[in-house]
């Protein structure tokens, strides 16, 4: 499937710092240590509704990972999936009388437009679940060969305890895993399962649902194996960072890691599992199923500058949960205006700003800290008087370049 257009990322003088990033599996902020090629897999959307501020915040967070790595001299190999066939998508299509494929195509296209508007750098491989079915089948066969698959009325399940490391990503208690699995697409109570946490890898055709031929009968992929197969097909393991929102730590990333371990025999599947906090509205997680959504496309249609939308997201640290409020956007618009004035004014030296942004982002993507560095510089510029000299103009230009390259904010 095609990705979205890549904006030019300007190069900065000098070299960025190694990125330190939170890892859910160890609970620590640790240095990422990619080779010349840094490998990033971020879970993509299930395209049954438009991009809301929660999605956008998560993709902007991982966009910073890519930008910090690029600045540190890595070639970034970024892969993202699109869950273009799954229960929620089929349910929405049924509800609205839409054709599921047109719904997925339409919403995926809108997502691409939103990402491009927000200056999110595209993945090198943007891969749909449907087009990955041959690869999913191959991975289910590997799991079968390892003796880790059984059937319940023809549906195939992965025995999670075939992996002796199962549970080590999200670190939840057995009781908690059971609860969360049920809330997030799992089926702990299905009769015939060997263990409540075993997860579906191939679901046989249901009446009225799309299905594809496979050696296990006509059907469709389970959710977790979709991402494992896509990641391993396009990236060598270990992946440097497996990313997504906090709601994916369990079961999605836990199951994916176990499936990869059993299928390939190699561990770890990812060196870092990094999770963005949940964005809420009115005290609830923003989610398609709750319907409490603020859409990127709606804000764009209302005429808001995408750079301001992006700045509004960057003002919150990626790791914490936060609430979208009516003040977020005006605050970001005021900040953007102040920065635009500053880069065009007699400006103080820019090198400390570049260093400051680099330091803040390399420290677990402290975007709010990076914005504060720029705010202080813009305030100094405002307080300066006199005509701009040649040096001053160059300082404004360097800050403009740094904002573009590191924060993805083109002034
Ligand atoms: N297709 C799967 C991943 S393979 C999926 O979770 N799709 S999604 O459309 O539901 O979510 C896409 C991404 O946005 C995921 O990383 C998810 O964790 C993140 N996300 C969803 N809701 C929020 C929210 N309210 N705040 C922050 N991130 C969110
Ligand atoms: Zn995923």
pLDDT averaged per 10 residues in sequence order, the chain, 411 residues: 96 97 98 97 96 96 98 98 96 95 97 98 98 98 98 98 98 97 95 98 96 98 98 97 98 98 97 97 73 90 98 98 94 98 91 98 98 97 68 86 98 93
Q: What is the pTM (predicted TM-score) of this model? A: 0.97
Check: CB of residue 80 under 8 Å from CB of residue 43: yes
Q: So what's the pLDDT on residue 64?
A: 98
Residue list, ligand 1 pocket, CB within 6 Å = 43-46, 54-55, 57-58, 81, 83, 227, 244-245, 247-248, 276, 278-279, 285-287
Of residues 250, 312, 256, the one with CA closest to residue 279: 312
Residue nearest to atom 16 of ligand 1 (CA): 244
Which of 120, 245, 288 best tests ligand 1's pocket when mutated (most atoms within 8 Å of CB)?
Answer: 245
Distances (CA, A) of 391 to 253, 375, 396: 50, 20, 9
Q: Which atom of ligand 1 is nearest to the CA of 286?
A: 25
Residue nearest to atom 21 of ligand 1 (CA): 55
Paired tokens of 397 = 């230009």
Distance CA 377, CA 346 (A): 11
Q: So what's the pLDDT on residue 345?
A: 87
Check: CB of residue 112 under 8 Å from CB of residue 76: no
Distance CA 297, CA 76 (A): 28
Residue appearing with tokens 């997925």: 104
> Bridge partners of 242?
41, 273
Taking the alpha carbons at both ends of the chain, their separation in whole angstroms is 31
Torsion sign across C-alpha atoms 172, 177, 180, 181: positive
Taking the centre of ligand 2 as the mean of its atom positions, its distance from the CA of residue 245, in whole angstroms, is 10
Taking the centre of ligand 2 as the mean of its atom positions, its distance from the CA of residue 228, in whole angstroms, is 8
Distance CA 94, CA 191 (A): 27
Residue nearest to atom 23 of ligand 1 (CA): 54
Taking the centre of ligand 2 as the mean of its atom positions, its distance from the CA of residue 363, in whole angstroms, is 25
Q: So what's the pLDDT on residue 281?
A: 82
Angle at 55 between CA 54 and CA 60, to 5 degrees: 100
Q: Is the peptide bond prior to 374 cis by the omega test (within 30 degrees of 0)?
A: no
Q: So what's the pLDDT on residue 385?
A: 57
Residue nearest to atom 20 of ligand 1 (CA): 55
Taking the centre of ligand 2 as the mean of its atom positions, its distance from the CA of residue 401, in whole angstroms, is 33
Distance CA 183, CA 253 (A): 15
Q: So what's the pLDDT on residue 93?
A: 95
Which of 41, 43, 275 best tests ligand 1's pocket when mutated (most atoms within 8 Å of CB)?
Answer: 43
Paired tokens of 389 = 């000299």
Ligand nearest to the CA of 249: 1
* DSSP collapsed to 3 states, 139-161: HHHHHHHCCCEEEECCEEEECHH
């Amino acid at each position: 499937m095609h990705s979205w257009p890549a904006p030019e990322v300007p190069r900065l003088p000098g070299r960025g710092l190694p990125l330190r990033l939170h890892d859910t599996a160890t609970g620590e902020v640790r240095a990422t240590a990619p080779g010349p090629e840094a490998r990033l897999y971020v879970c993509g959307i299930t395209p049954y509704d438009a991009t809301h501020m929660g999605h956008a915040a998560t993709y902007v967070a991982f966009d910073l990972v890519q930008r910090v790595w690029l600045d540190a001299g890595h070639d970034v190999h970024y892969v993202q999936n699109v869950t273009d066939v799954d229960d929620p998508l089929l349910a929405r299509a049924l509800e609205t009388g839409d054709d599921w494929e047109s719904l997925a195509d339409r919403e995926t296209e809108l997502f691409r437009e939103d990402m491009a508007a927000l200056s999110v750098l595209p993945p090198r491989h943007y891969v749909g679940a449907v087009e990955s079915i041959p690869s999913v089948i191959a991975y289910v066969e590997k799991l079968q060969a390892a003796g880790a698959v059984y059937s319940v009325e023809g549906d195939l399940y992965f025995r999670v305890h075939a992996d002796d490391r199962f549970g080590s990503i999200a670190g939840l208690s057995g009781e908690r895993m059971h609860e969360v699995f049920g809330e997030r697409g799992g089926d702990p109570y299905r009769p015939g399962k060997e263990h409540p946490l075993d997860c579906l890898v191939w679901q046989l055709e249901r009446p009225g649902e799309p299905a594809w031929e496979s050696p296990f009968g006509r059907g469709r992929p389970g959710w977790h194996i979709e991402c494992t197969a896509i990641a391993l097909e396009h990236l060598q393991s270990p992946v440097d960072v497996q990313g997504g929102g906090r709601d994916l730590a369990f079961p999605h990333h836990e199951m994916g890691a176990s499936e990869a371990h059993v299928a390939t025999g190699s561990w770890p599947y990812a060196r870092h599992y990094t999770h963005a906090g949940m964005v809420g509205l009115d005290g609830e997680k923003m989610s398609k199923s709750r319907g409490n959504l603020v859409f990127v496309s709606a804000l764009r249609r209302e005429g808001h500058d995408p750079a301001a939308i992006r700045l509004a997201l960057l003002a919150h640290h990626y790791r914490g949960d936060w609430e979208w409020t009516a003040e977020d956007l005006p605050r970001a618009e005021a900040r953007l205006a102040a920065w635009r004035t500053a880069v065009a004014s007699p400006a103080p030296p820019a090198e400390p700003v570049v260093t400051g942004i680099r330091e803040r982002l390399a420290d677990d993507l402290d975007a709010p800290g990076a914005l504060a560095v720029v705010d202080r510089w813009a305030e100094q510029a405002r307080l300066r008087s006199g005509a701009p000299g040649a040096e001053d103009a160059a300082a404004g230009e360097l800050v403009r370049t740094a904002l573009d390259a590191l924060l993805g904010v083109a002034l």
